[in-house]
Each structure stands twice: as C-alpha cells, then as structure tokens.
A and B are shown apart, each in its own frame.
Chain A
Amino acid sequence: MVYTQSPLAIGLFVFFVVFVLGLSFYLARRTTSAAGYYAAGGNIHWFVNGIAFAGDYLSAASFLGICGMIATAGFDGWMYAIGYLAGWMVALFLVAEPMKRLGKFTFTDALDSKFNSKAIQLMAAISTLAVSVFYLIPQMVGAGVLVQPLLGMPHWVGVCIVGIVVTIIVATAGMASTTYVQFFKGALLLICSTIVVIALLTRGLGTSPDQGGTKDYHQFQTLQAVVAADGALQVAGYDVVAGPESKFGEAGFVKLTQNGTETIWKLKENASGYELAETLFVTKMADGTKTYNGAAKEDGKFFAVGHIKEITVDGKSVASTGSIGPLAYLSRFKDSTVVLWGKKYIMDGANKITIYYQKPTPGSRILRPGLKFKVDNATGTQKFNFISLMLALFCGTAALPHILIRYYTVPSQAAARKSTIVAIAAIGFFYILTLYLGLGAMTNGVINLTDNNMSAPLLALSFGVILFAVISSLAFATVLGTVSGLIVASAGAIAHDLMDNFLGMNMTEKGKVMAGKISAMVIGCIAIYLGIIFEGMNVSFLVGWAFAVAASANLPAILMLLFWKKTTAQGVAASILVGLTTALGLILVSPDMWVRYGLLPQDAPVAFNSPAAISIPASFIALVLVSLLTQKKGVAVEDAANA
C-alpha cells in the first residue's frame, strides 16, 4: 500500500503533536508546583473528568482497532465496543465508590494499606509491569501504522519515533499526562468523529465509491473462461499459467499472464465454463522481498478496497442512496450486498503467496456476529473462545490501573459517580460512531488489506486532508500520552516497588531517580521491539489480550478485597500469581502467537486465543482457597461497605 503525502497534513500533524505535547509539559509543570497532580486534581469538575476518562480510554485501540475490525469483519469488530462499554458498568457499580471510600485508588495502594506484605508488594509490582507491557504493545503498533500514510515512513520508524520520544521525555523530564490534556483530546476526538459520520451520512451509500469525486475507485474485473475440447482452460486475451489442475486451482484460483504481467483470479463455475474474479495478492519470495500484485510496493498496484456490489431500496436496485439518516443507513446497508475480502495462503515453490479475494456478502450477514469469531456451527472450543473474549472485555476495564486512578481527581463520591456517567455517555456515543466509521470504511474504498488499523483515518482522508490530519494527530498524541503513562508506571514498579521496597536496596535519592530512568529506557526498548514484531495485528485484538491479563491478575483481588471479609494477604498474592501466570501462559501457547513464532496456528498446543474464561476463575479460586487456608495467620480485611 502506498500513500501520497500532503505537506498540509504533515504540517498540521507536527503542529498538533507539538501543541499537545507542549500543553502537557506546561500543565505538568504547573500542577507540580501546585502541590502535585493528585491533590490539585481534587478540584476537577466532574464533567471535565468524565470527558478525560473518555480521552484516556479511547486510545489508539478503540479508535483505530475497532474501526479497522468493523471495516473488514463487520459486527464482530463492534462486539469489542459493546464489551468495552459494558466493562464500565463493573467500574461504576462495584469498584468506583467502594474504592473512593477506601481512599485508595491504585491497586498497589489499596493492597498496601490493608496488608503490609512482602509477597503482595512483589506480586503487585510484577502484575503492574505485565499489564503495562501488554497495554504498550497495541499502542506501539498503533503508532507505527499512523505514520505510514501521514509521513510516508515504514512501520518500524513510527514505532521507534514514539519509543525514543517518550523514553527521552520520561527519562529526562518525567511527564504527567494531565486531566486537562485528556479532556482536550477526548473532546476533539468526539467532535471530529461526529463530523466524519455526518459527512458519511450526507454522502450515503453508493456502488462506486469515488470518495466524493476526488479519487476513482479501481473497477474490479471479471473474465469469462471456457474449457476447450482438450480440457484446457481458455481466457480471451490471457495465457493460463496455472489452471484448475494446479496448486492454485485446488485452492480455487488460476494464474494468468497478459503482456508479461501475472495476475491471479478467483474461479467460479458457471453455465459456460468459469467466471474469473480479480484478486489482490502479496508474494513473499525466499529472500524476504515482497511484491504487491506482482509489482514493487511503490508502483501502487495494490489498491485500496471496499465497495458495495448492489444496493436495494424498496425492492429496486439503485446506484446510490444519496443523503440518508443514521437508522436508514444501517437499514439500507442491511439490504445491500457488500464485497468483503477473504484471504488464502498458497506456497508456490519457495514463494509464499497471500491472496485476497472478493467475497460478496449480504449486508444483514455483516450486521450480525460471525465473520471473525466463528459462532455458526462452531465447535465447543470456538464458542469457548468467543465467550472468553467477551468475559475479558467485561472484566478488564475495572482492573486497568490508569482508569482507576482517575477517581482520585474528583472531590466526592457523587462527583466520582457523575464523571463515570459522563464517561459512559461519551464513550457510548463514540462507540456508536465507530460502527458508522467502520461500515463507512468498508464501503468507501479506503481499506488497506494488509493492515486494517488505518481504516478510520483513511475514511476521514476521503473527506479531505484536514480532517485526516487532525484525527491522525489526535490519535498519535494519544499514543504518546498513553505510552508515557505506561512507561512511568512500569519504571515505578521496578524502581520503587521492586528495588526499593521489596529488595530493600538502600538507594540514595539520586540512585532511585537513576534506577527509574534506566528502567524507563529498558522498558522503552522492549516496547519498541514488541511494537515492531506485532505489526499488522489488529490493535483491538491486542488490547483484548491486555484486558485478559489485567482482568485475571487484578480484578479478583480488587473485588474480593472490597467485598469479602475473609480475604488474606496470602490469598491476594496467590490470586495475582495464578491469574497472571495462567493468562500469560495461555496467550504464549495460543494459535495467534504460534503464527508470530512462524509456525502454523493449527499446531498450537491450545486451540483458543482468549484465556480469560480459564484464568479469571482460576484466580478467584486461588484467592478463596489460600485465604481460607491462611485464616489464622493472615490479617482479615474489613468489609469495605462498613469501613
């Protein structure tokens, strides 16, 4: 996929990122002098805090990942949005007020205040580190994809830029991503997305998405092939290189040449022989070089895709709907036939060919689950995988340290409640927008099949370069903010919790700062490395893993601490250990990781990708069992409701 860069977009991007960074620095300095971020935060208005929650939460993952997944897999991508939002109900109803009453807002603080236990210090630090690193991966991958169309640089450069900039910021100055910056980013993201959706509805649905007349869509061809008397396949104007009897034919494709250019076509039998439909393909040669549709990447032969085959309004086929309301948009979409893209791998000698082929699909099939997660005629394992993912999304939010800490910044329980409601309203509204953004990308010819993460910004690009630049810059600035926060948290876990508290290393003040900076740099390097190797994976999927790890390691401990009087220090430590190791272990042997190791997914020891349905119950069981066994020795926790 090649993108052309616009100086305007680059200029706006640099301006926005510098502006947001400058604002963060300015406010961070100001709040430091005003007795610290947390105390100063005690006066923040609940509405500002609520939108800031949304700014924190709608990171690269929500915006890029969910839209990208909806654009290629329809409703299944939106399932993530539904799960993420449902997670807020756990935070509102079970965690927010009891935690506020406890007067502690981070996981480690709450545990520390109840038990002064070495084992807990160690476990809490390791868990913070693991959750932060897992949450770093999707952020880094998101940063990598953002710079490709904007600045014309490869993925790894984007990852390195973010990694290096953030590590320098953290290691030299230290940066607190403040509430007002998150408020500003959250509000702008909501406004810009609303504008794109309004523009999308004004454009309506059409069968030839020319991006408002600015860019012609590639018209995919179909050819007619006949079988000659000798059984050979004949296509007018083309020579058949690999026919139905070849390896290509077995997979349902044929390879043709015309004027020396090779093309691959999808076979479909019809009355007079075969109908051939154009495909897109990436060839990876033995030496690692890749060609796109048989040409170098720069030749631009690998088209952006996404179109509707047929729109039916009141039983009649139309070319476009014109301006249309939000409900009518979904309803017309449901009655249309949309071309989705399937993917197949073929080994041709030493070349590995990835073929993307057209798959016309009824809109009503797209607006229901099942295109990504196999639920129709699914095996028990596939159903388990799906349920497990929905459980992880539901339980993950309330276990994320950077979300819980925001309850610190409001003055009262009532304000904590109200800001959560503002957050739910803002995030819920945004997730409704994502459905339109995703479906819009699916039908407006903007999808890059090799990496769907950029679908939403590229949809914005089809409405003008300014919207595109603003939205990409906001997403990028969000990545910077989130990554800084996560690196500070992980460096704190190593330098403060592990080295200082747990190991009891008597370091001077200078030594502690040095330890923190070195930890930040090491974690920065790890984050860069992980961001590069996970390229091309949907960021929302990666966030799903982070949620599973957070929910398994932290949620049972948080909930039981608040609601079960018999919880003991040993029980909490055991729960974190079991939850963390089970979740991590299952992820490392999952089919999707097997692909990352360069192996075949079907050879993985476990058949599912989502560990939550095993690791969360395991963590609960460990907590209850160990707590019951250590009743006399342990310190019982008071019920938070009576505290």
Chain B
Amino acid sequence: MGHGPAVKLGRDDAANYKTRLGVWMFILYTLVYAGFVVINAVNPGLMQKVILGQTLAVVYGFGLIVFAFVLAIIYNQLCNAAEKRMNQ
C-alpha cells in the first residue's frame, strides 16, 4: 500500500522540546506503572490493605487510569504552549 503523507507539515521548531518532554513523561508514567506491577509481584498482600474505604489495588488501578488522563492533558498543554512560543 503506497501512500504519501496525508498532510504537508510545516517546519516545527518545537519538535525537540516535545520529544524530550514526551520521553520524560513516559519515564514518569512507566515508573508509576512499574510500581504497581512490582507490588503485585513482590508483596500482593499489600494490595488488599484498605485505603480510603477501598482496597489498595482498586485505588492504585483507578489512580493509574486517572493519572494517564491527567498526564496526557498536561502534555498537551505544554506542547500547545511550546508550539505557540517557538513557531512564531
């Protein structure tokens, strides 16, 4: 299936900034995700502890989903700002 780019993209001076930002946010999320996996593998009993009326597993699980969304919003805001600032 040969097809060229759908859209012509102009020069983007914010590209380097956005790439670096993406890598850092990826590392941050990966650490939180890894924390979840490691607790489950090493000390699963801890996940049954009740925090805020729910088991830690439920709190952490909901947390990972909400955190993904919050992080994505922050990333988008920072990228928008950078595109505005750098692509004058």
Contacts and interface: CB of A to CB of B under 8 A. Distances in A.
Interface in B1-44: 1, 3-7, 9, 12, 15-16, 18-19, 22-23, 25-26, 29-30, 33, 36-37, 40-42, 44
A599 interface: no
Which residue of B22, B45, B47 has the most chain A CB atoms within 10 A of its CB atom?
B22
Interface on chain A toward B: helix, strand, loop, or mixed SS?
A: helix
Contact of B18 (A97, A109, A368): A97
B26 A376 contact: no
Q: Please classify the interface of chain B as helix (H, G, I), strand (E, B), loop, or mixed, using the class held by over half of its residues.
A: helix
Interface string B62-81: 10111011011101100110
B57 A408 contact: no
A412 B9 contact: yes
Contacts of B3: 36, 38, 109
Contacts, number: 151
A161 B85 CA distance: 55
Interface residues of A, number: 64
> For this complex, into which size category does the number of interface residues on chain B fall?
35 or more
Contacts of A36: 3
B75 A417 contact: yes
B48 A368 contact: yes
Contacts of B15: 97, 101, 641-642
A369 B54 contact: no
Contacts of B23: 93-94
B73 to A, nearest CB: 6
B26 A90 contact: yes
A93 B54 CA distance: 31
Contacts of B25: 89, 93
B50 interface: yes
A130 interface: no
Contact of B57 (A103, A369, A386): A369
A365 B12 CA distance: 51
B58 interface: yes
B75 A93 contact: yes
A409 interface: yes
Contacts of B44: 368-370, 375-376
A428 B68 CA distance: 8
Given A85-B68, A92-B75, A641-B19, 8 more contacts: A78-B61, A106-B1, A367-B55, A368-B44, A375-B44, A387-B37, A411-B7, A641-B15
12 contacts: A41-B6, A86-B33, A86-B68, A89-B71, A89-B72, A92-B72, A368-B57, A369-B40, A370-B44, A378-B41, A386-B40, A394-B30
